[in-house]
Amino acid sequence: MDQKINMPLLGDKFAELKGVKTTHGVKNIPEDYRGKWFVLFSHPADFTPVCTTEFVAFQKRVDEFKALNCELIGLSVDQVFSHIKWVEWIREKLGVEITFPIIAANDDIANRIGLLHPGKGSNTVRAVFIVDPEGITRAVIYYPQEIGRNMDEIVRAVKALQISDEEKVAIPAGWPENELIGDEVIIPPATDMAEAKKRLESDRFECYDWWFCHKKRS
């Protein structure tokens, strides 16, 4: 029988992970992070080159995430003592102190959020989950084991989600350096003919056409 892979869906409550062991003690996720955004990211294994570069890169951006009311949480199926030793190695050899917790997941926890791929052995896949203060899954990004993540894109995604929520707008490609509208944001399309006509006559924003209007952030 084929193994079922449970992948969190956008807009769903993030799976409850109760009593998980981490390098910062036992945690209940997402409950312990209620009121905050968090980025939970999995890595294939401790003491591997690509994952080491990723952890250093995430740590270098901890203050950027915190400024967004967002916490980082690492995860793999390695045991907690392996996480601790790896964190020590990163501090001693690379001079970087990893300050965010790392979950020591078992296969049950990893399978509940789609982190074990039947064709990739027992290592966790390289995934990113962005979860909002209400525990709702807002973005899911999967990478192959061979490719390290771009942390600046993850910071950008958190910022963009927050701006979209606050201002009820859409965010263009490559924001805030979009090729067409720079750092401006997109107004949701009109939903009726009267509103479509008003769009082209409005001085509140600029339009390429009624279905593509943009403005500076509020």
Tens-digit pLDDT profile for residues 10-39: 999 999 999 999 999 999 999 999 999 999
Q: Quote the domain boundaries for residue 46.
A: 17-149
Residue 54 has pLDDT above 90, yes or no: yes
Please write the tens of the pLDDT for every residue from 134-164.
Answer: 999 999 999 988 899 999 999 999 999 999 9
Distance separating alpha carbons of residues 17 and 193, to the nearest angstrom: 47
pLDDT of residue 1: 37
Mean pLDDT, residues 64-75 taken together: 98
Residue 121 has pLDDT above 80, yes or no: no
129 and 189 both lie in a single domain: no
Is residue 30 a contact partner of residue 108, using CB atoms and an 8 Å limit?
no
Domain assignment present for residue 5? The answer is: no
Is residue 8 a contact partner of residue 43, using CB atoms and an 8 Å limit?
no
Mean pLDDT, residues 33-55 taken together: 96
Indicate the burial class of 83 (C-beta count within 10 angstroms; 0-12, 13-18, 19 or more): buried
pLDDT of residue 118: 58
Active site (catalytic) residues: 51
Mean pLDDT, residues 75-93 taken together: 96
98 and 189 both lie in a single domain: no
Least confident among 5-19, 26-40, 46-60, 68-82: 5-19
Domain assignment present for residue 12? The answer is: no
Please write the tens of the pLDDT for every residue from 157-191.
Answer: 999 999 999 999 999 999 999 999 999 999 998 89
37 and 144 both lie in a single domain: yes
CATH code of residue 207 = 3.30.1020.10
Domain assignment present for residue 6? The answer is: no
184 and 129 both lie in a single domain: no
pLDDT of residue 204: 86
Distance separating alpha carbons of residues 21 and 70, to the nearest angstrom: 21
Tally of structural domains, the chain: 2
The structure's pTM equals 0.92
pLDDT of residue 4: 52
